Structure 1
Amino acid sequence: MKLVAITSCPNGIAHTYMAAEKLAKAAEKKGHEMKVETQGSIGVENELTPEDIENADGVIIAADKQVDKSRFHGKRVLEVSVTDGIRRPEELIAQFERNEVPVYAEQVASAKLKSITEVKKERSQKQNPIYRNLMNGVSYMIPFVVIGGLLIALSLAIGGEPTEKGLVIPQGSIWNNILNVGVASFTFMVPILSGFIAVSIADRPGLAPGMVGGYIAANGSFYGSQAGAGFIGGIIAGFLAGYIVKAIKRIRVPQMIQPVMPILIIPLCSSLLVAAIFIFVLGQPIAGIMEGLTSWLNGMQGASKVVLAMILGAMIAFDMGGPVNKVAFLFGSAMIAEGHADIMGPIAVAICIPPLGLGLATLLNKSKFTNEEREAGKAALAMGLVGITEGAIPFAARDPLRVIPSIMIGSMVGAVIAMLSGVADHVPHGGPIVAVFQAVDNVLMFFVSIIVGMIVTALLVNVVKKPVDVEN
């Protein structure tokens, strides 16, 4: 067969390319041809041409964010999460071999003929749409947080002058201008998050009302609050705008009005509705929640800090870039803009411990790992240095009951040390790479936390794993 595929994950870094590689190798192993289009952080690569699609016997979409399927009408289309593309590529291809994948255009029409029970069952098997929509917004938001965090960190590190109140950048200096650019980048964070959540729900008509809602959510002056509704408000605004636009799109209008619906009526009506709901109903309560969260974080001492670090470290390691990991990552990223880079610090440590710890484990005790795992260990070490947790996936896929608890404990230990040491990270990323860009406060303890965590992981894995066969 000739197959085509698309892979895409929320961050567009590791999962996107790992799934592409796994699918291509599985197809080759089974004697099929496959071309894989990747929709990563740098854009579309190896793009599928009309000829590729026309000649294809089937399409696999392994993605955790919105992918345009309109070009695949009339083709057999199988939609799965990007994790499925990594973990069970041969099983996905086998579904085409058994002719079990329906034609995309027929899926929409035939759904009406199915019983309610069948439809609900199918929906439950698919990925949670709320998670998919949220991650679509997060994937577009991250670059703005990275730019803002790095510029602010660099301007303070290089241009800051120590005073009684901490580092202060002199007014009128070049570093003050760079600081202002970083702050400007942060102001885009919530509107971008909201706008692209709405786009994921309602397509392009959702962008304007989503961004307008996000801007209002981030500016408490609209609803008489000193503090804005922050990232929580931005998420709610995005979903609110998306579903309002989706509802308006379903309204039947005269044919003469249809051309102006997407460019005038839908954006105008939905933006006014979202603004009104936020200004008069949701703004102040959500701002109150954010103020309470900020006060709680500011008041954390001792045991409460340890508990938070343990929870975040465990979440980061648990599914290595999956939904649970992304929830903790989103929380840490949002807290940077709220002035709590010390929350992202433990997360940045926990992010790199699983791959670094497992890479170290393969070096300490080769008898516990196959040749393939030892090679994966080298790659894991490299991925850990640049903060890609997914480097641990090959090990967890082979032996989840032993590997996952080991990396969770290692990440928890590292995160706790970082939290108690006051390690802060001003960019939403992890691993030693962030220290290179001077984005980390208390660099020494940042590295101590990572080293201790990776040693704990390595030792635990080697204790619980059984020796492999001599042949391996």
Structure 2
Amino acid sequence: MKFVAVSSCPTGIAHTYMAAEALEQAGAAAGHQVVVETQGAAGSTPIDPAVIADADGVIYAADLEVKDKDRFAGKPFVDVGVKKAVHDPNAVVAAAVAAVESARAAGVPTGPVAPAAPVTKVDTNAGAGTRIRQWLMTGVSYMIPFVAAGGILIALGFMLAGVAWPGGEGAVEVTKIPLADLVAGFDPLSLQHWSAVLFQTGALAFGFLVPVLSGFIAYAIADRPGLVPGFVGGAASVAVGAGFLGGLVTGFLAGGVALWISRWKVAKGVRGVMPVVVVPLLSSLVVGVVMLVLIGKPIASAMTSLTDWLTGLSGANAILLGALLGAMMGFDLGGPVNKVAYTFAVTGLSVQGLADDATQFKIMAAVMAAGMVAPLAMALATVVRKNLFTHSEQENGKAAWLLGASFISEGAIPFAAADPWRVIVSSVVGSSAAGAVSMALGAGVRAPHGGIWVLPLMSTFWAFVVAIVVGTVITAGLVIALKSMRPSPVVAAEQRADAALAA
């Protein structure tokens, strides 16, 4: 059979492309052709309409709503989350085959109905906790690119400022150059001006962090009617100093209010102006009043207390926090727990005026180091004890070197899917150790992503490298020890087959 498929995940990075590769390989192994369109952070190249027309069925391996879904209307389909395609692609392909055969037997092809393209795939039949997580992850997924771009530009600006100003005062001086002065009298030959441009551009990108988070949480709840009050609420949160916590509150508040107002039963003559005037006007008014008058001040006080607590962390408390965040990063390898730890770290980067050795930057370094451990450890283990892994895992290990080095925790997912408890236990222990060591040695980074590629932007970069090495060695050693106690029957079967072929 011939299938077309679409893969996407909330962040649009690792899971999107891993699902595509897994489906293509599983389809080929079963004698079918699978052509996948990846709707990831880098954009997507639409499948040729002729290929779609020739396809027997469709596979949706998506956690976001599929773009231009009407292209596939009328085709038998299966709709699964992206993790299902990564963990068990054979079952997904088998389900797609069954769907096609069922449609043929019934004589009536069935296909998806194209909805009004919500931003995220929220299961309305799921429990309240699941839906809240899906709404939150939508906001986080749209926030992360702003954080990554802004954080790296700010870090580059500070690095350049360290060269432009003698005496180590660059990190302070670069923030004193007003944006208006740069616009009015930029000197292309001035290293100081270039560092200020990088810093100011990054700061502008960072300025969208809370409004984007709030806006897209509201969008996930109420679709387009939630965008305006969500962004307004996020901007109000920034204005009163409520920051990230305020953005979370206004996102859910704006989504709920906009959804409620959009469901009002109104006269026909008013329906046309509801989405463009009434809903954004009333919902923005409600959210603005609530944030500016009622809850903004207490949330701002809570944010100030959190910042002061983080800034005051030292010694054993800082090490314990690094160990906890590291364990969270290694637990589900790009899943909700991992994203909570990552989001906690990146929001600390938005606090301006911090010294390079501030605890917020140390937390970011600890989280990044911990997130790199699992894929690097799996890659190392496949080299040290090749005979404990299948041929497929050995190939995945080669790719895991680059994924781990680039701070893409999802590179360890194929190993965790094949052997969950041994890999996850090892990952949690090693990642926790990496986070603790990073905090203890004082590694810090202003960039929220990049792995080894942002080493020049780090303070005490050697401490970051040591933390990764320690965590990687611990995780790889544990995996090898646990697998050696009870070797995989799949690996044993492959080894017998190899021996038979050699004979």
Please report the TM-score for the alignment, with normalisation by the length of structure 1: 0.87
The residue number in structure 2 matching 1:153 is 155
Residue identity in the other structure for 1:24:
E
Q: Which residue of 2 aligns with 1:6?
A: 6
Selected match of 1:200 from 206, 220, 225 = 220
Are 1:147 and 1:185, in contact at CA under 8 Å, matched by a contact in 2? yes
**1:139 counterpart = 2:152:** no
Could you tell me whether the CA contact under 8 Å between 1:147 and 1:182 is conserved in 2?
yes
Structure 2 CA distance for aligned equivalents of residues 243 and 67 of structure 1: 24
SS at match of 2:339: helix
* Equivalent residues in 2 for 1:38-53, closer than 5 Å: 38-45=38-45, 47-48=46-47
* Contact 1:8/1:15 (<8 A) preserved: yes
| Helix, strand or coil at the partner of 1:3 | strand
Q: How does 1:278-427 map to 2 (within 5 A)?
A: 278-338=291-351, 340-427=360-447
**Contact 1:313–1:350 (8 Å) recurs in 2:** yes
Choose from 267, 279, 283 the match for 1:266.
279
Moved more, 21-30 or 91-100: 91-100
Q: Aligned AA for 1:457?
A: T
CA offsets 1:54-96 (integer angstroms, 9 cap, x no match): 6655443322334457626655554332111111222223334
- Deviation, 1:358, is 1.3
Moved more, 65-74 or 24-33: 65-74
- CA deviation string 1:81-114 (max 9, x = no partner): 2111111222223334444899566999xxxxxx
What residue number does 2:476 align with? 458
2:184 corresponds to which residue?
none
Aligned residue for 1:7, secondary structure, equals strand
Alignment of structure 1 residues 92-171 onto 2, 5 Å: 92-99=92-99, 123-124=125-126, 128-160=130-162, 161=165, 167-169=171-173, 171=176
Deviation, structure 1 residue 302: 2.0
Distance (whole Å) between structure 2 residues aligned to residue 290 and residue 376 of structure 1:
42
Distance 1:388 1:250, change over 3 A: same
Q: 1:373 to 1:419 in 2, by over 3 A?
A: same
SS in 2 for 1:61: strand
| Distance in 1, Cα, partners of 2:437 & 2:288 | 43
Q: Distance in 2 between matches of 1:276 and 1:330?
A: 27
| Aligned mates of 1:144, 1:3 — CA distance in 2 | 35
**8 Å contact kept, 1:64–1:135:** no
**Which residue is 2:464 aligned to?**
446
Residue type matched to 1:138 in 2? Answer: V
Does residue 1:276 correspond to 2:289, yes or no? yes
Q: Find the counterpart in structure 1 of residue 268 from structure 2.
A: 255
Q: What residue in structure 1 maps to residue 63 of structure 2?
A: 64
Shift of 1:159: 1.4
Distance 1:166 1:448 in 2: 27
1:309–1:190 distance in 2 versus 1, CA, 3 Å: same
CA distance in 2, matches of 1:103, 1:199: 29
Larger radius of gyration: 2
Change (3 A) 1:135 1:49: farther
Contact 2:58 2:96 in 1 (8 A): no
Unaligned ranges ≥5, structure 2: 104-108, 116-122, 178-191, 355-359, 499-503
Aligned to 2:180: none
Mapped partners of 2:393, 2:432: distance in 1: 24
Per-residue deviation, 1:395: 1.3
Q: Measure, in 1, the Cα distance between the counterparts of 2:427 and 2:336.
A: 17
Distance 2:128 2:97 in 1: 21
CA RMSD of aligned residues (A): 2.8
**Cα separation, partners in 2 of 1:230 and 1:66, compared to 1, 3 Å:** farther
Does the Cα contact within 8 Å between 1:66 and 1:132 map onto a contact in 2? no
Matched pairs, number: 450
Name the CA distance, whole Å, in 2 between partners of 1:259 and 1:336.
Answer: 43
Distance, in Å, in 1 between the alignment partners of 2:20 and 2:232 is: 36
Residue of 232, 235, 239 corresponding to 2:252: 239
In 1, Cα distance between equivalents of 2:65 and 2:244: 21
Q: Secondary structure at the match of 2:6?
A: strand
Q: Is this contact kept in 2: 1:376–1:394, CA < 8 A?
A: yes
Match of 1:217 among 237, 256, 260: 237
The Cα of 1:316 is off from its aligned counterpart by 0.6
Cα distance, 1:320–1:427 mapped onto 2, change above 3 Å: same
Distance change in 2, residues 1:249/1:428 (3 Å): same
Match of 1:128, SS state, is: helix
For residues 363-416 of structure 1, give each alpha carbon's deviation from its aligned partner in whole angstroms, at most 9, with x where no partner exists: 122222222222211111111111111111111112112111112111111111
SS at match of 1:283: helix
Per mean C-alpha deviation after superposition, the further-off stretch among 2-11 and 49-58 is: 49-58
Check conservation: 1:80, 1:126, Cα contact below 8 A: no
Secondary structure in 1 aligned to 2:372? helix
Amino acid at match of 1:141: M
Which residue identity lines up with residue 392 of structure 2 in the other structure?
Answer: E
Distance 2:398 2:243 in 1: 40
Q: Distance in 2 between matches of 1:384 and 1:181?
A: 29
Find the aligned partners of 2:207 and 2:341 in 1 and give their Cα distance: 22
Q: Which amino acid aligns with 1:167?
A: A
Cα shift at 1:323: 1.3
Unaligned runs of 5+ residues in structure 1 are 109-120, 221-227
TM-score by length of 2: 0.82
